[in-house]
Chains A and B, each alone.
Chain A
C-alpha cells in the first residue's frame, strides 16, 4: 500500500477546499498519521476476496416511468444563495476550472 506522503494541495483542489499553508501542513501530518494506522490492512490477505460495495444483495431495484409531483418553484428558490429571475446565479465560470 502506497504510504508516501499525501499531496494535500492536490487533494484539497480536487475536493474544492481552500486551505491555508498552516492547514495544509496540519492536515498533511494528520492524514499521514491516519495512513500509517490504516496500513495494517497490508497484513490482511485479500487476493482471492471480492470487494463489497453493498452488504445487501438486492438487484434491479428500480421504479416505473411515472411523473410524480416535484417542488413548487417558490420552495425551490427559497434557499437559493443568489436567485435571479428564477435561476440560480453563480459567479464567472472558468471552463477549465469547472
Chain B
C-alpha cells in the first residue's frame, strides 16, 4: 500500500488541514466495498457512527486541536465494547447485544481522533487460531481466499492485510494477534500484560488477555500503542507506571543489541523452506548490527499444557455470566436451571464448550491442585526461564507461527489447532511484550501461492520502546511486507 495510506501519513495530513477525516473515511469505505464481499473481515460496518466521529474530528482540527490519530480509519475486533454497536464476540450468545458503554481502549482511540469503521470477525469469544470458530461469519485470507486469516483476531488482521484501513485493534491471549498478523502480512503487537486497559474487552482469560494493534507499519502500531497505553482506574490490573513513548523512539539499526535465538524454537523443525526463511531473517538482524546469542527456554515444551489449563479455567468462570437473565440470548426452560442449560447449549459453539468443560474440570473439587495449581506453578517456571534468558540478551527472535496460513478445515482435531500457538503462548504466560513483523513468504506444504510469514520479536516486561524500535529498523531495512501483494477480488 502507498505511503500516504499509513496512519502516520493520514494523521499528519488531517492535522495539517490537507485532508478531511470525512474524505479519508469515504475512501476507506470504498476500499472495503471493493473486496469485503469475498473477504468477510467485518461482522458489521458502522457507517453512521463513523461519519459522526469523522465530522467531530474535522471540527476539532478546525478548532485548532492536534490529534495523534486524526481521521485514521480504525477497525475494532468485535469483543470490544463501543457504545451503540452490536458487540458479539463472534457468538450467537451476543449476536444482538448492543454495548451501552465504551471500552477504555476504544474511548482513548476515539479521543485521539481515530474513526472506527466497523467491528471485525473473530473466533467465538477469542477461542481459536483461524477465525473458523466464529458463529457469525467466514473470514478469508487477503492473500489466498482458500486459506484462513488466522485467529482469533482474524477479521482485524485481514482488513489491514487487505489494505482497507491502516489500523485495527485485536486482542491476544495466547497468540491471537501475532499469529493472524503473520498470516496476513501485517504487523501485530501484543504489549506487556497490564499496559492497556481490558475494561470493555469481553474477557476470555483475564490474566492473559491483552489488547493490541494491527498495522501496515511498526510506526503505526507504535502510534496506536502510545494512545492506548497507561493506567486505567476501571481496570485494577493495569499497571500504574509511566509509559515510555514508542513512536518517537524508533530505531534505524540494531547496533549494540543482543538478540537471543531460542534453542527450543529451532525453525529447522519446520521444514527446509521455512528454516531457510528464518535463517535469512536472523541474518538480516545481524546485518543491522545486532549480536545473535543462543538462549534456552527449557520449559517451552510445557507452555501449551500450562496455557490450556489456565486459560480454560479462567474462561469457564468468565463466561458464566452468559446465563440468559440480563442480556443476550435466552432459550426458555421450565425452570431457571433448564433455561441456563438450554441457553448456554444453544449460545456457545463447540470450541467454547470444550474450553468451559476443561476449565470447569480443572477447577473442580479433587482436581484443582493437580491441574490448575500445577499449571500456575509451571507458569512461574516459564516466567523464570525468560528472566534467565533476558540476562544474556535484550530481545528474543523466533517464528511467530509454525506454518503459513492453512486451508479451511485443515485443523479438524482441536489439539492440532492449539499447536498453532506453540511459539506465542510462552510469552503470553510470562506477560511479555511481543510482536510479529512480516519476514517474507513461503510456499505452503499443500501448494498454492506463496503466503506470508512473521518474525516474532519479544522484549522483557515493559520493553515496548526497545521492541518497537528494533522492529521498525528490521521492517525499514527489509521491506518484506511490500514484496507481497494482496489478492484484490
Direct touching of A and B (C-beta under 8 Å) = yes
Q: Of A2, A49, A88, which is within 8 A of B326 by CB?
A: A88
Whether A88 pairs with B299 at a CB distance below 8 angstroms is no
| Contact of A67 with B by CB under 8 A | no
Closest to B428 in A: A55
Chain A binding surface SS class: loop
Residues of A within 8 A of B291 (CB): none
Whether B335 pairs with A17 at a CB distance below 8 angstroms is no
Whether B334 pairs with A92 at a CB distance below 8 angstroms is yes
Whether B341 pairs with A56 at a CB distance below 8 angstroms is no
Per-residue 0/1 for A56-98: is the Cβ within 8 Å of any B Cβ (1 yes, 0 no)? 1010011100000001000110111110000010111110011
Per-residue 0/1 for A1-40: is the Cβ within 8 Å of any B Cβ (1 yes, 0 no)? 1100010101110111111000100010011011101111
Query: Contacts A31-B361, A46-B377 known; A92 to B308 CB distance under 8 Å?
Result: no
Closest chain A CB from B316 CB (angstroms) = 6
Q: Of A31, A39, A52, A94, which is within 8 A of B337 by CB?
A: A94
Residues of B within 8 A of A23 (CB): 353
Whether B340 pairs with A31 at a CB distance below 8 angstroms is no
How far is B162's CA from A60's CA once the two chains are assembled, in angstroms? 44
Closest chain B CB from A6 CB (angstroms) = 6
Residues of B within 8 A of A93 (CB): 335-336
Whether B353 pairs with A6 at a CB distance below 8 angstroms is no
Q: Of A6, A55, A76, A94, which is within 8 A of B361 by CB?
A: A6
| Contact of B282 with A by CB under 8 A | no
Whether A90 pairs with B336 at a CB distance below 8 angstroms is yes
Whether B337 pairs with A98 at a CB distance below 8 angstroms is yes
Whether A79 pairs with B357 at a CB distance below 8 angstroms is no
Closest chain B CB from A35 CB (angstroms) = 8
Residues of B within 8 A of A17 (CB): 341, 344-345, 348, 353, 356-357
Residues of A within 8 A of B345 (CB): 17-19
Residues of B within 8 A of A10 (CB): 364
A residues adjacent to B (C-beta < 8 A):
1-2, 6, 8, 10-12, 14-19, 23, 27, 30-31, 33-35, 37-41, 44, 46, 49-56, 58, 61-63, 71, 75-76, 78-82, 88, 90-94, 97-98
The 8 closest A-B CB pairs, nearest first, are A55-B431, A81-B330, A51-B376, A46-B377, A79-B327, A18-B341, A18-B345, A38-B305
Can you list 5 A-B pairs, Cβ within 8 angstroms, ordered by A? Answer: A6-B361, A44-B299, A54-B237, A79-B327, A97-B337
